[in-house]
Amino acid sequence: MKRLTILLLLISGFTISYETKAQPLFPADGELYIKSVVPRVDIIINPDTLNWIYENVDSDMEFHADFVFDNGNVHDTIWDIGFRLRGNTSRYSAKKSFKVSFNTFIQGRKYYGVEKMNLNGEHNDPSIVRARLYWDITKRAEIAGPRANHVQVYINGNYYGLYLNCEHIDEEFADTYFGNNDGNLYKCLYPADLTYRGTDPELYKFMSGDHRTYELKTNEEADDYTDLANLIDILNNTAIEELPCELEKVFNVQDYLKIAAVDVLTANWDGYIFNKNNFYLYHNTATGLFEYIPYDTDNTFGIDWFGIDWASRNIYNWSNTGENRPLYTRLLLVPEYRAWYTYYIRQVIEEITGNQDFLNTLPALKAQLDDYVVNDPYYPLDYGYDINSFNASFTSGTGAHVPIGIQPFIQTRNNTALSQAENTNAMPILKYITHNSPIAGVSMIVSVYAEDENLSSVVLSYHINNGAWQQEAMYDDGQNGDEVAGDRIFAASIPAQAGNTLVEFSISASDQNQQTSTKPCNPVSYTIPSGNSYNLYINEFMASNNSTITDDHGEYEDWIELYNAGSASVWLGDKYLTDNLENPQKWALPDITMEAGSFLLIWADDQPEQGPLHTNYKLDKDSEEIGLFDNAASGYALLDGFTYSVQSTDISQGRITDAAVEWKFFDAPTPGSSNSLVGIENKPASKLTFWPNPVVEGKIYLSESMNFSIHDLSGRKLLEFADCSLADVSMLRSGFYFLVTESGLTERFIVK
């Protein structure tokens, strides 16, 4: 992911931190999705409750349980998690699938950045690896898809078998992969064919069984399907020759074509193209484009319930015969899209499924999982599988719905796909066009992702205030605005301009075969903001308020303080405050006036129903953006904004003095009043010295006496010590805890 960042840029006393996001982020597997080992997951739940869950398989009721995770490096215990069954047909199988929720009973709690875990039994797949392989391919192909690994699941000490731990797709997933989570996220299940039903957004809220076919998973209170209705209208009703220009305004076409290639090469028939099922659409507020996210990919690599030879099915006629699939069929009617799809078919085969490095992972994966399968008590119960079925499934079929093994499927699919692929010369692919949204006096840095088998040049064309067009070569050399050489992201800069200047640009790329692409169809327009003429500032904020100040409802909530540093009053009714700099209109400020020199406290608590000073979002303690934007007439000009990093509980961050350029941390926050000159110079950077870790005999020794407390993963204070260098923690159960000093130093430790 390329990030173009202006950090604490000092222009005429105006402080701004801003970053653009276009290409998806790809987080590391980390401890939770580690693949070098098979972690153990323990669920401790009342036996009567577990029996009820198994007797009421259609229920989504969540029950209290405890959770233990051990991967050999970390051993964590999390109490009071939510636990239930998940899935569709797997609910009726002997080997169930489970949902673990860390935030059901303790709001906001996450474990390694996720709120929920999907533990999938994969009962249809004798190899138990098909879905895992699909997600490994999407990662190699730089497609946003869940992280996944295998885990051993125990419930109340009893082994329930080998499971796939698959990352849950929700607002946390959107934030992790796209850098924002305030857009509409739709879970699309059968019969989600994306066909046109009319212009009325209400028409797309139709039910399928007990759920909506297009089920909105974020912004449920607004329940506004306007964006989805618009996408479907454009997709179905735009003339083919006009479709590229119109569809690319609202949908990430290029990445979807790569996903379609992966689906066809892996025979993901239970997704959109064949079965109008199992995908998400996320309206990415950073780009304004919908992102397509695959989902539930166990019916792949030759698994078949229809008597279809998926390994040889034609790559251009892969949808369900006689049914409408406009996102696949209409796109393939566009010559440049058909050529790009073909390019991606060849690329995925060459770089992934046909690459020996990928193929070599199969026997190693089988060997890693062998012992966990042979002892899996639920593995044989649905289809009579045994360890021989598991071993054979990689190289041959096991009968019934598994007519072919994984390796022969990949080999046959690759060969037939290459024989079917048309001999086309695709134009260069341009995507992820972005710029750094500069203020007056700052150069505009423009970047684009460009790829082609024989790319020869990438050129930025721009003009200022409708003047003559100028051109700048764009480079992927790690210089002049390009951050990393060789990552296919090219950059060039436009000289700094004064406020209220109109800048327009487009990008062209050519290859050695004289093929040229130009994107977007209409040049990008950006007016340089004139600056903070109101002298209105974000002066201080707190992203983790546990005991500092309560709101007008007696609740400890996140807060943001505004300050009018000018000599005139400022009406706020046409201005906006947001936690996403790409979404300036997220929350409209109330119809009030701030007098000169006054302060205003805004409660960032996601409870707008509590009053006009309560926002429709919360602040994230880990990291977040805060932005103050002007009215529509200004083009929603940025008045003040920044990105902050990890915050400490009851420590605020604010300007060292009111409206000053420099920011500090305050252990004595000043919400609603003038900032003090006395603050924490910087976040404490020294490291606690204490031992042993892990704790094995119930005692912790510190290098010096101090005031400190012990907290669990949810942040609850469990123990408190004053002026001590020795802590008795023998009453703590085995698990993962934090030691927090009075000054804010925090270190984790393990009790065994």
The sign of the dihedral angle between the CA atoms of 155, 157, 161, 166 is positive
Residue 9 DSSP SS3: strand
pLDDT of residue 21: 55
Q: Point out the least confidently predicted range of 14-18, 274-278, 325-329, 401-405.
A: 14-18
Question: Average pLDDT for residues 550-560, to the nearest whole number?
Answer: 92
Question: Average pLDDT for residues 640-665, to the nearest whole number?
Answer: 86
- Which pLDDT band, with edges at 50, 70 and 90, does 434 fall under? very high
258 pLDDT higher than 90: yes
571 pLDDT higher than 60: yes
pLDDT in tens, 445-462: 999 999 999 999 999 999
Question: Average pLDDT for residues 537-554, to the nearest whole number?
Answer: 92
Between CA 520 and CA 247 the distance in angstroms is 11
- Which pLDDT band, with edges at 50, 70 and 90, does 602 fall under? very high
Cis, bond preceding 694 (omega within 30 deg of 0): yes
Between CA 619 and CA 89 the distance in angstroms is 38
612 pLDDT higher than 50: yes
625 pLDDT higher than 80: yes
Q: Point out the least confidently predicted range of 309-323, 543-557, 694-708.
A: 694-708
Alpha-carbon distances, residue 337 vs 262, 509, 602 (angstroms): 15, 16, 47
All domains in the chain, ordered by first residue: 4-23+427-527 (2.60.40.10), 40-420 (no CATH), 536-666 (2.60.40), 690-751 (2.60.40)
Question: Average pLDDT for residues 707-732, to the nearest whole number?
Answer: 81
- Which pLDDT band, with edges at 50, 70 and 90, does 7 fall under? very low
Mean pLDDT of the chain: 91
pLDDT of residue 437: 82
HSE-CB for 47 with a 13 A CA cutoff: 3
Q: Point out the least confidently predicted range of 48-62, 133-147, 614-628.
A: 614-628
Helix axes 406-420, 253-266, angle to 10 degrees: 120
pLDDT of residue 10: 32
276 pLDDT higher than 70: yes
- Which pLDDT band, with edges at 50, 70 and 90, does 714 fall under? low
289 pLDDT higher than 70: yes
- Stronger pLDDT, 528 or 319, i.e. the higher one: 319
pLDDT more than 90, % of the chain:
73
69 pLDDT higher than 60: yes
Select from 208, 223, 327 the least CA-distant residue to 274. Answer: 327
- Strand order of the sheet with strand 289-294? 214-216, 185-188, 279-284, 289-294
Residue with tokens 């902050």: 644
Between CA 645 and CA 624 the distance in angstroms is 7
| Tokens encoding 466 | 């409708």
pLDDT of residue 681: 42
pLDDT of residue 687: 57
Q: Output the 3-class SS for 603-659.
A: EEECCHHHCCCECCCECCCCCEEEEEECCHHHCCCEEEEEEECCCCCCCEEEECCCC
pTM above 0.85, yes or no: no
1 pLDDT higher than 60: no
- Which pLDDT band, with edges at 50, 70 and 90, does 15 fall under? very low
pLDDT in tens, 112-143: 989 999 999 999 999 999 999 999 999 999 99
321 pLDDT higher than 80: yes
- Stronger pLDDT, 5 or 98, i.e. the higher one: 98
Between CA 223 and CA 231 the distance in angstroms is 16
pLDDT in tens, 493-528: 999 999 889 999 999 999 999 999 999 999 999 988
pLDDT in tens, 530-540: 778 899 999 99
- Which pLDDT band, with edges at 50, 70 and 90, does 216 fall under? very high
For the ranges 1-5, 52-56, 109-113, 604-608, the maximum mean pLDDT occurs at: 52-56
| Tokens encoding 55 | 């007797």
Alpha-carbon distances, residue 748 vs 89, 347, 736, 744 (angstroms): 41, 44, 7, 13
- Stronger pLDDT, 696 or 708, i.e. the higher one: 708
pLDDT of residue 677: 52
pLDDT of residue 662: 80
Please give the DSSP secondary-structure letter assigned to residue 384.
-
Cis, bond preceding 335 (omega within 30 deg of 0): no
Which residues sit opposite 166 in a β-bridge? 118, 148
422 pLDDT higher than 50: yes
pLDDT of residue 713: 59
